[in-house]
Structure 1
Amino acid sequence: MDALTALTIFLAYWAIVEFLKRRGVLERRGITAYGPVLMIRTERGIELLKRLARRRRFWIVLGNAGIPAVFAGMVFMFVLILFMDYTLFTSPPPPSDLTSPRNALLIPGVNQYIPLVWGLIGLIVTLIVHEFSHAISALSENIRVKSLGVLVALVPIGGFAEPDEEQLLHHSERGTRLRVFSSGVISNFITAAIAFSIFFYLLGFITPSIAVLSSDNPDLKVGDVVVEINGVKVTSPDDISKAVGEQGKIVLKLADGREVQLSGVTGVKIVQVVDGYPAKEAGIQEGWIITAVDGKKIHTLRDFLKAMEGKKGGDRVEIQVFDGSEYRNYTLTLKDANGRGLMGVQVTEYFAGVTFSYFYAENILNTLRGIPSMLTNPAGWLFLISMPIIFFNSFSFPITAFFHSSVGGWIFYALNTFYWIGWINFYVGLFNCLPAVPLDGGRVFYDVAEKLGGKRSAEIASKFLSSLIFGSIILSIVIPNMPR
């Protein structure tokens, strides 16, 4: 669907909302319209929440645990906002998908980084967890909940629980308010931790496969899975090397039963030659193919890495390269770099014009599995926040073709579900920590500031921070897209 069609549908929806609002239809059904956003209320489900709220001690402990979690998230996110402001004014980024207004919204299908189905599942779970936690926490503190409901702007975009604001804000103790405000955030964090734990566990059931990542051959397309080479089953780069051996011919058998014959050299393609290193000094050029090292044939990137393993500065290596028309032989004296001997080239796999997905998939898998160990420093948390944008979005085709599952294809659906439940819960929890009213962090900040400095000081600080934060978010969209 293009942008014009989407806009037309949305404007038509808004016109219908305005028509029903003016006719009083929405009001009669307990629906409130704020522009195109509908608040659809119901009292159904409150009795269930009351039963859950009977475990009062649990909800008090949860709310108390949420207070320091909110402040930790508050500091982290506020520092992130300040860093964003500094970047915007010192080196504003150019217009891009990242700075597009549509991607500022956490709406699956609108935000291009959030897939519709998996994002919608994650968003629904997040909203239910967040709002129901507020409601149950309020009920456990004997604060009335007037209604539950959803926010709709053509599609569901949020959920809400309506505690009695008068009772919560003016007739309850400060500790009670802080627990109620913090319960949604801590519940999101706990849900994210559980979902990500399941996600990391399920990663153990998949391994990289041999599939086509790119190809110059018109008979091969991205995602084609290779099961045999020259009649030998292949599941790893080592299998590829054994299957090719010294043979000149290369016949691939694909999972769909087709056979494709390749012609051309195999090895690693030089994509960069580094100044000051022996390869550059010898006249070796980008685009050439390294086909052998010290007499050992190179068919895959792993072959090359094995051949160079253990080499030190001063060691001599003999390499064979193909320059596009003929083979050349060079003897290089490796240069020392942190105890390793390097010839000074950056390479990528080149298999007769085909690049296999194994190392790409292995990198994805190793990075995802390594995330828990990355969370020992702030950079790891930043990576987690930005992961769907800068690294990994979902297990969808052709990426699913790059992996083999030991338990069947359903594993990819499960991985996507828990990935997005975890990420959206984590992101929404963090965003709600910001010290800006009406976010939970803003309410917690105001209450604590009032305790420490009085009502007047709390109001001034709260208004200033709210304006700064929401202004910064708006500027992060406006400045990169301003005409230059």
Structure 2
Amino acid sequence: MWVLLGILAYSAAALLLRRYGLLPSSVSIQGPFTTVHTKRGRDFIDWVATPKRFWRAWTNFGLGVTLVIMVGMFLFLLLQGLFILQNPPEPSAVNQPQNFLVIPGVNDFLPLSVAPEIVFGLLVGLVVHEGGHGILCRVEGIDIDSMGIFLFTLLPLGAFVQPDEESQQNADRGGKTRMFAAGVTNNFAVTIVAFALLFGPVIGSIAVAPGMAVQGSYDGSPAAAAGIGQGDRVTSVAGTPVTNESTLDAALASTDERTVQVELNGGDSAADRETRTATVQRSLIVAGSVADNPANLSVGEEPITVSEVNGTPVHTQSGFSEAVGGSKFATLTTSRGTVTIPVGAYVTRVSADGPLANAGAPTDGSAIVTAIDGERVTSSSDLDRVLDGTRPGETVPVELYDDGELSTYQVTLGENPNDGGGFLGVGLFPGTSGLLLTDFGVQPYPAGTYVALLGGDGGPGAGSVSGALAESPLSAVYVALILPLASLVLGIPNFPGFTASVSNFYSVSGPLGFLGSNVFLLANICFWMAWINLQLGMFNCIPGYPLDGGRILRTSAEALVSRLPVSEPYTVVRTITTGVGVTMLLSLLLLVFGPTVLN
């Protein structure tokens, strides 16, 4: 409502200024949209455009790249549109209209905490894009009427170079095509330079600080009660050093003491960070649950406590496992009542062509793995541990609880792409039987995974998700596209950059160590500049008017049709460009609104 009122107030003030002739001739306002024109800077562009042979060679190379990406964008959008028509996916955050705006804090994937870096990257992208058009105008002898910036109230949405129409019409077709390709060529060049800095000396100067990074604590958990929260690093538990999530779990499992001393490093800012000790009174709680879990428990505002298992008092996860023992079922006494459940690793998804499905197991998910090769499995971590001791190609009996009964399947294991061990081909809910049980209650932050994905040394806490991606020759492009959407693609939180709230999880050393904490700022600038420029370049390669891709399509179609024996070449060119442009528009509309409208 405040945004709407602000837009209306701005539009009303602009209308009054225009009516009374108080607006400069260089400023044009239509509602909330403002265009500022200037003729200044044309001499500078003439000077920059002096090495004409260089600029022609540069944009000839860029034109080739642009044509390849144009074809790729056409096929991608067309196939995506057809897929959405045939199999409409469920609406997600990606399809929300606000997430197509490059506005930090409004777009769910562009955090407000790095708004200055994002805006700076956007401004650089606009300047180099339109500057490329301006330089090639002068290289090809096209006059420039004016240059300027396009604003939504006070927010910059774009920049422009306005060529003189008559001189543009008189320019040769090749010159105009190079001029249209110059903007995206420069955007891709900025992307490459920014990534070269980020993946080289910048990320080489960022290391993961020792300890387990804490993203947050579950409400009502023992950790939350002890004051452990976002930004802390757990460095030891009961005197046992902690370096990552695995060592934290091992340290907690090594003692059944109800009270443990936890050493932490944290604070709201770099100035007040210090090492401190917290006393955690452990108790077993259900911090999360999957729908339709066998206990029929759903976590609300208050956590669910588990006080007894099979009549034995418990307060730790290790105590839970001991109380269950070899039994396939357990009776839990909880703050919501007493329930009896099968105990094992809850399967949420079974790959249709995976080892478990090939053995004849049901593929609808919601089954529970209770044993593998005769070894008892009580949780998802148990299942991972047992599979680590198997080999690909080995045939083992897998016991499943499904639809009220236990069944055993002879499964020939596949190869785990992350560690080379055995592989079932299933997705798991973390915890036991669809319940996320914890006696501590912190959520880890994947600091090492982010560093590894960006080409650095993530250390032992990097996790398996970064393995193949970091080694891919196209990792820079892929990482740029997925890291802000990591929660949807990789199952980890969206990457916000190296912001103040997570800087405690990293340390600075290496070639740029002399910059201190400014390395984090430089990393944010490089990352978001590369991401924004890549998005600008690829979007402008869509072959639809008025984007650069649509203009290049027109000149390319004119060049092709001019060589064909047709009586009305203009009609043929218009048919090609209109057909492709409408196809792209419909595909984009399906991409944005299809999942919502068709479901």
Q: TM-score, normalised by structure 1?
A: 0.80
Say whether the 8 Å CA contact 1:335–1:342 is kept in structure 2: no
Return the match for 2:3 from 6, 24, 49.
6
SS at match of 2:145: strand
Q: Higher mean Cα deviation, 268-277 or 125-134?
A: 268-277
Matched, 1:422 2:530: yes
Q: Equivalents in 2 of 1:156, 1:164: separation in Å?
A: 24
Q: Equivalents in 2 of 1:288, 1:175: separation in Å?
A: 61
Could you tell me which residue of structure 2 aligns to residue 362 of structure 1? Answer: 448
* Aligned-residue offset at 1:144: 2.0
Q: Specify the code of the residue in structure 2 equivalent to 1:206.
A: A
Return the match for 1:212 from 211, 214, 218.
214
Could you tell me which residue of structure 2 aligns to residue 224 of structure 1? Answer: 232
Q: Alpha-carbon deviations, 1:426-450, whole Å to 9, x = none? A: 1110111111122111111111111
SS at match of 1:436: coil
Q: Specify the code of the residue in structure 2 equivalent to 1:385.
A: L
Q: Alpha-carbon deviations, 1:121-147, whole Å to 9, x = none? A: 221111011011111121223322222
Could you tell me which residue of structure 2 aligns to residue 272 of structure 1? Answer: 346
Q: Alpha-carbon deviations, 1:403-423, whole Å to 9, x = none? A: 444444333322221111001
Could you tell me which residue of structure 2 aligns to residue 323 of structure 1? Answer: none
Could you tell me which residue of structure 1 aligns to residue 188 of structure 2? Answer: 189
Q: Higher mean Cα deviation, 239-248 or 124-133?
A: 239-248
Q: Equivalents in 1 of 2:370, 2:90: separation in Å?
A: 38
Could you tell me which residue of structure 1 aligns to residue 434 of structure 2? Answer: none
* Aligned-residue offset at 1:79: 1.1
* Aligned-residue offset at 1:65: 0.9
In structure 2, the CA distance between the partners of 1:82 and 1:226, relative to structure 1 (3 Å rule), is same
In structure 2, the CA distance between the partners of 1:109 and 1:138, relative to structure 1 (3 Å rule), is farther
Q: Specify the code of the residue in structure 2 equivalent to 1:46.
A: R
Return the match for 2:46 from 39, 43, 50.
50
Could you tell me which residue of structure 2 aligns to residue 327 of structure 1? Answer: none
Return the match for 1:464 from 565, 579, 583.
579
Say whether the 8 Å CA contact 2:234–2:262 is kept in structure 1: yes
Say whether the 8 Å CA contact 1:77–1:433 is kept in structure 2: yes
SS at match of 2:73: helix
* Aligned-residue offset at 1:470: 2.4
Could you tell me which residue of structure 2 aligns to residue 158 of structure 1? Answer: 158
Could you tell me which residue of structure 2 aligns to residue 326 of structure 1? Answer: none
Q: Equivalents in 1 of 2:84, 2:381: separation in Å?
A: 43
RMSD: 3.7
* Aligned-residue offset at 1:13: 1.5
Q: Equivalents in 1 of 2:241, 2:423: separation in Å?
A: 33
Say whether the 8 Å CA contact 1:212–1:222 is kept in structure 2: yes
Could you tell me which residue of structure 2 aligns to residue 474 of structure 1? Answer: 589
Say whether the 8 Å CA contact 2:261–2:277 is kept in structure 1: no
Could you tell me which residue of structure 1 aligns to residue 265 of structure 2? Answer: 255
In structure 2, the CA distance between the partners of 1:335 and 1:91, relative to structure 1 (3 Å rule), is closer
Q: Equivalents in 2 of 1:372, 1:62: separation in Å?
A: 30
In structure 2, the CA distance between the partners of 1:66 and 1:34, relative to structure 1 (3 Å rule), is farther
In structure 2, the CA distance between the partners of 1:341 and 1:87, relative to structure 1 (3 Å rule), is closer
In structure 2, the CA distance between the partners of 1:383 and 1:403, relative to structure 1 (3 Å rule), is closer
Could you tell me which residue of structure 1 aligns to residue 338 of structure 2? Answer: none
Could you tell me which residue of structure 1 aligns to residue 109 of structure 2? Answer: 113
Q: What does 1:288-307 align with in structure 2 at a 5 Å threshold?
A: 290=382, 305=385
Q: Equivalents in 2 of 1:51, 1:336: separation in Å?
A: 69
Q: Specify the code of the residue in structure 2 equivalent to 1:67.
A: L
In structure 2, the CA distance between the partners of 1:336 and 1:467, relative to structure 1 (3 Å rule), is closer
Structure with greater proportional helix content: 1
Return the match for 2:414 from 334, 338, 343.
338
Q: Equivalents in 2 of 1:260, 1:164: separation in Å?
A: 73
Unaligned runs of 5+ in 1: 294-303, 317-331
Q: Equivalents in 2 of 1:37, 1:54: separation in Å?
A: 35
Q: Higher mean Cα deviation, 186-195 or 28-37?
A: 28-37
Identity %: 26
In structure 2, the CA distance between the partners of 1:232 and 1:341, relative to structure 1 (3 Å rule), is closer
Q: Higher mean Cα deviation, 267-276 or 174-183?
A: 267-276
* Aligned-residue offset at 1:54: 1.3
Say whether the 8 Å CA contact 1:131–1:161 is kept in structure 2: yes
* Aligned-residue offset at 1:345: 9.3
Say whether the 8 Å CA contact 1:436–1:442 is kept in structure 2: yes
In structure 2, the CA distance between the partners of 1:471 and 1:105, relative to structure 1 (3 Å rule), is farther
Say whether the 8 Å CA contact 2:484–2:495 is kept in structure 1: yes
How many residue pairs are counted as aligned between the two chains? Answer: 449
SS at match of 2:530: helix
Q: Higher mean Cα deviation, 90-99 or 77-86?
A: 90-99
Q: Alpha-carbon deviations, 1:231-250, whole Å to 9, x = none? A: 45543467658866854443
Q: Alpha-carbon deviations, 1:383-415, whole Å to 9, x = none? A: 743542335432236544444444443333222
Say whether the 8 Å CA contact 2:372–2:396 is kept in structure 1: no
Q: Specify the code of the residue in structure 2 equivalent to 1:162.
A: Q
